[in-house]
Amino acid sequence: MSVDERRQPRYMISVAAELVGMHPQTLRIYEAKGLVTPKRTPGNTRLYSEADLERLRLIQQLTTDLGLNLAGVELVLRLRDEVQRLRARMERVERQARDEVQRVHKQYRRDLVLYSDVHDTRPVKASRWTSRG
- Which CATH number covers residue 98? 1.10.1660.10
Mean pLDDT, each 10-residue run in order, the chain (133 residues): 85 97 97 96 95 97 95 96 96 95 74 58 57 50
The rounded distance, in Å, linking the Cα atoms of 120 and 118 is 5
The total number of structural domains in the chain stands at: 1
Its domain, for residue 86, covers 3-130
The pTM of the full predicted model, rounded to 2 decimals, is: 0.69
Query: What is the model's pLDDT at position 11?
Result: 96
Determine the pLDDT at residue 32.
96
pLDDT in the model for residue 113: 53
In the chain the beta strands, taken as DSSP E runs, fall at 11-12, 39-40, 46-48, 109-113, 126-130
- Predicted pLDDT of residue 65: 95
